[in-house]
Amino acid sequence: MMKRIIFHRAEVHLRSAPRMGKKCSGALNQSARGEAPLAWEKSARGLALGLALLLVIFSLAGCARRSAVSLRIVSAYSGKGVANATLTFTGSSGSETLSSDATGTVSGQVEADRTQMGVEATGYQKAFMQVTDLTKLPATVQLTPLFLGVGTVKSGGQPVVGASVTVWNTTTTTGSDGTFTFEGLAEGTYAGRVIKQGFADATFDLVIAKNAKAVNVTLQEGQLLPLSSLATLPVYELTASYHRTLGGEDKSFDGRVVKNGSDILVMSGDPVNPTASLMVRGGTGYVFDNGAYTASGETAAAAAHVLQESCEGLLGLPATFSPRFFTIEKQPPVQLLGQTCDVWSMTGRFMFEGEAVTATATVTVGTTDALANIPVKIVLNARSQEFFNFVYDAVVEVVSVDQTQVAARFPPRTLPQSEGSPSAQ
């Protein structure tokens, strides 16, 4: 401040000099050649330094300090990590969000002035917390499930232990008492499936809502072949062609299904430029439209899952045929997927919607390593014996279980998307 005052006085003195006459002017000229320039230069340098310091201070004030955030979101019911939870940090300057990964872990940085943290996830109650110091957040935050979907699996009145129960895209196993529980599901009705070696697969509807009743699932014995589910393979590509006529209504599919972990690709026509295709990638559903994949959310994802399960169900169908009604004969082995596979032929009948249906099937089963007991090809022909004109012809075959080949079927990771849709993962 003193330097600034000195500079101001020097400026006034210089401006007043011409009014003082020749004597003063001569003194000024003499002073200008001596001490005055030195004071001027010092004042100017001091002013420049002060301004620079002020600019630095203002710049630092405009760059808000950020703090590292690291915690885990878990279920208050099971203690398991809650995936895809959204954390919203709010402060005087606005808000910003972070998300949990598949294990419920959250990490990132947010502005240090945040005073409130909100946590929300599908199927769980929201949680809020006042924040005084982001570096002292709790290690875990618990979310309480809004609803629990529970049920029991039995056969012959006895609980079935270790049965695989799948609802939507989540799978669990039954406990020692045959019970199972699902959490983190939004309110609604979900289709479920139960698989257990030695039993026919069973389907059920699980209602997720307040005061919803537990579901009871009964498994029927009668597995004809010791088949393992194709769904146990982490990757595969299969071709499928089936045609069904029921009561004058025709349904058909001719294409392929590709699975790579949790990602699914279902397409018909040319694999490079399909006539139609659905894809699930990183949990997001996509539809092939005008030569590109466009994000379409849960509807596309659900449709892709249905088609995938339909083809897997065809390959696993012989395992549900009752030995009381089907005869089985072993045929000469064949070479598929680089190994010698067993071939079985079956003839018999089963009941469909109360009507008797005759069926013949040829099932090719893997025998080595990961393909042991896995059905890799089925040719099925079924006809009704009664009046409702049931026809079902299908050929489903696994053509690859190679990780590199399967992954190459999926389009590049950066995909065109509809406005507001999430990016592909």
**Has residue 410 been placed in a domain?**
no
Same domain flag for 136 and 151: no
Task: Give the number of other CB atoms < 10 A from CB of residue 175.
Answer: 15
Q: What is the pLDDT of residue 67?
A: 92
Q: Which residues of the chain have pLDDT under 50?
A: 1-34, 56-62, 418-425
The CATH number assigned to the domain holding 188 equals 2.60.40.1120
Identify which of 19, 145, 150, 163 has the alpha carbon closest to the alpha carbon of residue 82. Answer: 145
| Residue 371 near residue 235 (C-beta atoms within 8 A) | no
Could you tell me if 324 and 391 lie in one domain? yes
Cα separation, 207 vs 148, in Å, equals: 9
Closest to 423 measured CA to CA, from 415, 410, 412: 415
Counting the structural domains of the chain, the total is 3
The predicted structure's pLDDT at residue 32? 43
Same-domain check for residues 268 and 355? yes
pLDDT score at 197: 72
237 and 378 in a common domain: yes
Point out the domain boundary residue: 126, 143, 160. Answer: 143
Domain membership flag for residue 23 = no
pLDDT for 137:
93
Helix axis angle, 35-62 relative to 2-16, nearest 10°? 130
Count how many residues are written for the chain.
425
Q: Are 339 and 311 in contact (CB under 8 A)?
A: no
- Tell me what pLDDT residue 7 has: 37
Report DSSP letters for 169-197, one per residue: TEEEE--TTSEEEEES--SEEEEEEEE-T
Residues 276 and 328 in one domain: yes
Distance CA 362, CA 326 (A): 12
Same-domain pairing of 239 and 289: yes
Confidence (pLDDT) at 63: 55
Considering the domain boundaries, does residue 104 fall inside one?
Answer: yes
* Domain match, 172 and 248 both: no
Q: In this predicted structure, what is the pLDDT of residue 54?
A: 55
Q: Is the same domain home to 256 and 378?
A: yes
Please report the pLDDT score of residue 33 as a whole number.
45
Check: pTM over 0.75? Answer yes or no.
no
Range of the domain at 158: 146-221
* Model pLDDT, residue 235: 97
**Boundary of a domain, candidates 79, 112, 143:** 143
Same domain, 104 and 162: no
Is residue 133 a part of any domain in this protein?
yes
> Which sign does the torsion angle of CA 410, 171, 336, 328 carry?
negative
pLDDT of residue 44: 65
Same-domain check for residues 299 and 358: yes
Q: What is the pLDDT of residue 349?
A: 78
Secondary structure tally for the chain: helices H, strands E: 5, 26
CB atoms under 10 Å from CB of 418, counted, come to 12
Domain-ending residue, one of 80, 111, 143? 143
355 lies in the same domain as 264: yes
